[in-house]
Amino acid sequence: MKYFVKISDDSRILLEDLNPDAEKTILFIHGWPLNHNIYEYQLNFFPDKGFRCVAVDLRGFGESDRPYSGYDYDSMAADIKKVIDVLKLDKVTLVGHSMGGALCIRYLSKYNNYKVSKLCLISPAAPSWVQMQDWPYGYTKEQVDGFINQSINDRPKLLNDISGLFFFQYTSPPMLNWFNNISLTASSWATSQCLNTLKTETLFNDIPKIKVPTLILHGVHDTVCPYEFAEYINKNIIESKLIPLQNSGHAGFIEEKEIVNNEILKFIEE
């Protein structure tokens, strides 16, 4: 079922809540510039395995309200906490892709791993999406400024270009159209402001604060969030496991969905 939860500034965010009577809960956090529908192949899998699946449309994306502000990591991490508190979730497996993975890291760091028993990161945009001193991976700030400028002036073309970068294997035109349509539901201001957040925020200090078992699934051909991101996270979370996805780019949960789903299932049930 779908329903809304009020967050800190009285905006409403949409939740898709499947199999709500199940004992164990997985909470899915999507990445930029997507919404919860991108987890279609997980939401068709895990409820049949006996899990409650709660998938969020972050503020400004999908069917959630579209406030003009609040697109920094702290504000969106607070939104995640509000969902957990309102739904009275406990011992949650938190799953985040790309920017959603970065938000999960900030949430666990800021709230001391509150109510989360396990973390799964799929191609996370962390520790830094942009290059900086002693961090030669990811985009340059100038490249991200170009994305922001294109978002303001020709957002459909930007999203079309980004869609192609997400996939390593051949992807059918209808799949790319579906992906683009999901991206276009986001507000223009959320799209550009989240790009600025990805450009300016880092998680080097947050990652060591994660104290729950962590599974990292990352496409070795990822050009949006290079594989070195996953290697860094794996080295800096004490109880973590890294599984390389050999035939995936940034959308491994689509390109190698069977492997991703089964590895998450094994991880939760360990």
pLDDT for position 254: 97
From the list 123, 192, 222, 248, the catalytic residue is 222
The reported pTM is 0.97
Query: Regarding the domain with residue range 2-269, which homologous superfamily does it belong to in the CATH classification?
Result: Alpha/Beta hydrolase fold, catalytic domain (3.40.50.1820)
pLDDT (tens place) for every residue of the chain, 270 residues total: 999 999 878 899 999 999 999 999 999 999 999 999 999 999 999 999 999 999 999 999 999 999 999 999 999 999 999 999 999 999 999 999 999 999 999 999 999 999 999 999 999 999 999 999 999 999 999 999 999 999 999 999 999 998 889 999 988 999 999 999 999 999 999 999 999 999 999 999 999 999 999 999 999 999 999 999 999 999 999 999 999 999 999 999 999 999 999 999 999 998
From the list 30, 97, 218, 250, the catalytic residue is 250
pLDDT for position 21: 95
pLDDT for position 30: 98
Is residue 98 part of the annotated active site? The answer reads yes
Q: Give me the amino acid identity at 225.
A: C
Q: Quick one: residue 217, left, alpha or beta (phi over 0 = left, psi -120 to 50 = alpha)?
A: beta
Please state, in angstroms and rounded to a whole number, the distance separating the CA atoms of residues 104 and 102: 5
From the list 64, 75, 98, 151, the catalytic residue is 98
The alpha carbon of 227 is separated from its chain's Cα centroid by a whole number of angstroms, namely 16
Do the beta carbons of residue 56 and residue 27 sit within 8 Å? yes
Is residue 222 part of the annotated active site? The answer reads yes
Task: Delimit the domains of the chain by residue range.
Answer: 2-269
What is the layout of strands, in order, in the sheet containing 2-6? Answer: 2-6, 12-18, 51-56, 24-29, 92-97, 116-122, 214-219, 240-245
Please state, in angstroms and rounded to a whole number, the distance separating the CA atoms of residues 59 and 8: 11
pLDDT for position 10: 85
Please state, in angstroms and rounded to a whole number, the distance separating the CA atoms of residues 99 and 124: 6
Is residue 250 part of the annotated active site? The answer reads yes
